[in-house]
Structure 1
């Protein structure tokens, strides 16, 4: 049993109580796909929320970031605690099987752990009885507690002041976040907490850039298969043509842009558009069009937008719908210019597997490279197993499943079960529709 599943609790659905009155309801899908970027770009809290009667915004000091959720000076954090209390369940109760019914008795987690500040158990007694098991996640929960308060503390978040274009004479190193941030001159990322903040938002564009770049960490000796090398060579040939064409204005005008399709887009479609400039800076000679496709691909606050020109060489396009239903908006496809990314799609999840099958069928027909990520080892293994079972004879592996050096460094936790965690883009793998070589007789 993996770490990601160790604390998955079979909480029965309960009737709504007065505790969560006025709070947003949780959808069924939120039990599995719970990564959110809302806290990173939320407006500063109003002054009255932090200190009643204060005329100025009060800043939470860096040595005072830890708060029990019920006593947090941030309203959103207090509300998060109420959501956990309403929708969660005590793990000790779950593991205490009722002798009369044979079913697990569940009670709301009303007791807040003094070490992590989250409501984790129904009582102090059950918390003490479960302390050894809870300690495996407690440190990560406290880290999350302090990170969330830091983002809302009112301080100037200088780590989000990103560098612009890369100097031509400086080569980007894709070995790890450390080497990448250093060679890209992210001078304001000076702490582990700042690294977690930055990696959570940049994991999407940098995972794409690291995969496509000529100095990618994914090579023949590091998971890339011979078929994968063929696909990446095709894409990099186009990128090289873009570089050569920059000196000839007429040739540059004739270049076909790279098309990057992000299917099942959710959090990655809600990032501020300017963050995708970091992808453009990695491939400065290439014109790129990034397509966000999926039923949740357009932020609800701005459903009218469909195209955003971020720069002369980068455009973001949003298509609300399933790829297999809107595929003809994008056809034809070319393996030299088109690539697909599926960020933590849940291909093997019981509730998502059947829904993804029509899209995977269409993707394999394009013969273009497809890269997907997983939340953790088990999530990735489930997706790979489902792909192999459903389409094993119709596809070639391009990149063997492995850890992603540009995964988020922040661990996210579910509202219904604090033992269920996820790391955005923890692992990565690649595949493509099988090609058949012409045989001469």
Structure 2
């Protein structure tokens, strides 16, 4: 796997940071004189602890939650046995664990072990130099969006030498970089038949790129050049809590563009002081800098659509993202597949959605097409998201259900009807 080469960089406080692959390190390695690894360096061995004996109180609490709420896949009883491979409670008893042939012959034990060690690494207290993100892109370097490795390299990120570093950083950056990878002129997603983008998708993306790359359109005057790009994130929750410098990585990919991120949903604004979600009758605005602003709307999208708060919509400057919306999920389908979806389709703007896995995304898209098929244009066929998170997550209510954020993506919009003579 390609990794970033080491380059000295400057921290935000002005102090230099020199990565591990410096000249002396190279000489020591060449002579076989490398010192033993630091005990702070994460490894599967030093990051593995059974959750019910974890040094982290919140992981011991999660183990208790699994025991209280989850059911054994073999016996249907409560879970009382911790898998010795993963260190996570998974079965009612050792006998049930041994008899679960499907589990033993699958990759789940090893994936659950990764969940375990990633969670312990984040709570280990080690230095996290990988979180010192780069600032403006150098004018003589082009961002490469082929994969995570090339993105990190061409943006000048800290050298990601371990799976632990990748897991920690890609979980946060998956949201902004997924958006950027769709919008960028060098997007990794190509036109059908070789890629997942449809002809209608190309039309929508061409309109947005017209706004994002004004230097390529100097001969054509347009009011859209003076308008910020509005990115609506519906059903926002975790993504709305990401720090400003994380979302700024999206804006660095389009340095000439002003952006407004509109987080929409009842759980879009979390008050860290009160430690609760806050509702407001008026939009809550937070400016990161002169080129990036956050706007929080603490109700469902259709409420603001019916009040015309977001009017007028413009396919040149507006785009919608729904991260893991659960269009087809029983617990959230009612909120999405009524007034909200109707309002979304009425905007005629591009809508992109992600899923935890291929089946999850296809269920959501089948629900949309099944209910609104004649009113929908597909922009992007369901496909693997190049910038999905590499960190494995766990459903505490079903500990054998593991997933990664934003692993698959698709796009659609409300159908645009061509004018006909009558």
TM-score (norm 2): 0.83
Structure 1 match to 2:284: 306
Could you tell me which runs of 5 or more consecutive residues in structure 1 were left unpaired when the two chains were aligned. Answer: 1-57, 95-105, 246-250
Structure 1 match to 2:407: 426
The 2-side partners of 1:276 and 1:366 are apart by 25
Runs of 4+ in structure 1 over 3 Å off: 58-63, 242-245, 251-254, 302-305
1:393-438 C-alpha deviation (Å, 9 max, x unpaired): 0111111111100011112111111122222111111111111122
Q: CA deviation at 1:182?
A: 1.4
The 2-side partners of 1:252 and 1:240 are apart by 14
Structure 1 match to 2:209: 236
1:227-251 C-alpha deviation (Å, 9 max, x unpaired): 1111111111111227778xxxxx9
8 A contact 2:258–2:292 mirrored in 1: yes
Q: CA deviation at 1:296?
A: 1.0
Structure 2 match to 1:354: 334
SS of the residue aligned with 1:93? Answer: coil
Structure 1 match to 2:250: 279
- CA-based RMSD: 2.2
The change in CA–CA distance for 1:89 and 1:286 in structure 2 (over 3 A counts) is: same
8 A contact 2:224–2:317 mirrored in 1: no
Structure 2 match to 1:380: 361
8 A contact 1:60–1:154 mirrored in 2: no
Q: CA deviation at 1:326?
A: 1.6
8 A contact 2:210–2:217 mirrored in 1: no
Find out whether 1:326 has 2:304 as its counterpart.
yes
1:17-44 C-alpha deviation (Å, 9 max, x unpaired): xxxxxxxxxxxxxxxxxxxxxxxxxxxx
User: What aligned pairs does 1:119-158 form with structure 2 within 5 A after superposition?
Assistant: 119-130=89-100, 132-134=102-104, 135-158=106-129
8 A contact 1:242–1:255 mirrored in 2: no
Structure 1 match to 2:239: 268
Structure 2 match to 1:184: 155
Structure 2 match to 1:15: none
Deviation larger for 299-308 or 118-127: 299-308
1:172-202 C-alpha deviation (Å, 9 max, x unpaired): 1111111111111112322122111111111
Structure 2 match to 1:414: 395
Q: CA deviation at 1:253?
A: 12
The 2-side partners of 1:115 and 1:84 are apart by 17
1:201-242 C-alpha deviation (Å, 9 max, x unpaired): 110000001111111112213111111111111111111227
Q: CA deviation at 1:131?
A: 5.3
Greater share of strand: 2
Greater share of helix: 1
Q: CA deviation at 1:439?
A: 3.1
Structure 2 match to 1:341: 321
1:113-153 C-alpha deviation (Å, 9 max, x unpaired): 11111111122221122255145311011111111111111
8 A contact 1:243–1:285 mirrored in 2: no
The 2-side partners of 1:167 and 1:254 are apart by 23
SS of the residue aligned with 2:232? Answer: strand
The change in CA–CA distance for 1:252 and 1:225 in structure 2 (over 3 A counts) is: closer
